Amino acid sequence: RRGKLEIEIIRARNLQAKTNKIQPLTYVKLYLVKNRKCLAKAKTTLSNKRTLNPLFQQQLTFHEDYHGCILQSIVWGNFGKMDKKNFMGIAQISLDDLELSDTVISWYKLFLPSSLQTLPSKSLRHTLLSNSTESFTNTQNS
């Protein structure tokens, strides 16, 4: 499981809008987590359009040993200058559950902030409940 882990963030769909607000510019932040500790992080650039169905098509790479790790993917929305960073959803993917010798292409359900429980480690969250928001990710080991 050494080598690099390449993740392509392709798109998200059906993100939840804030009431009476314009649609957000969005980005995805990835965390490589082991034993509730963040080993590495990476993020996409902002989406080009204000939409609840953003298309990213951006590749992010981790060079850390990912054995026993969880890939945490958080979608953030930027609604404007005074309201910059808004949590829109999270997915947690156990990398040990994936066959990473081949390319893995999958949709992952995103969870909303109301379904999270704070963990001892700063900025790490755990998912409890689901909704219909999803993101599409292509993961591979090379």
pTM confidence score: 0.77
* Core vs surface per residue 22-55: b (16+ CB within 10 A) or e: ebbbbbbbbbbbbeeeeebebebebbeebbbebe
Q: Per mean pLDDT, which range of 20-24, 72-76, 125-129 is the poorest?
A: 125-129
Which tokens is 51 given?
């939409």
Q: Is 81 left (phi over 0), alpha (psi -120 to 50) or beta?
A: alpha
Which tokens is 17 given?
């809008």
Give the model's pLDDT for residue 131.
32
The tens digit of pLDDT for each residue in 76-134 reads 998 877 777 889 999 999 999 998 888 888 999 998 766 655 443 333 333 322 333 44
Position 33 pLDDT exceeds 80:
yes
Q: What angle do CA 91, 44, 90 make, to 5 degrees?
A: 15
Counting beta carbons within 10 angstroms of the beta carbon of residue 94, is it exposed (0 to 12), middle (13 to 18) or buried (19 or more)? exposed
| Other C-beta atoms lying within 10 Å of the C-beta of residue 2 | 9
Cα–Cα distance measured from residue 25 to residue 65, given in angstroms and rounded to the nearest whole number: 32
* CATH class label, 5-137: mainly beta
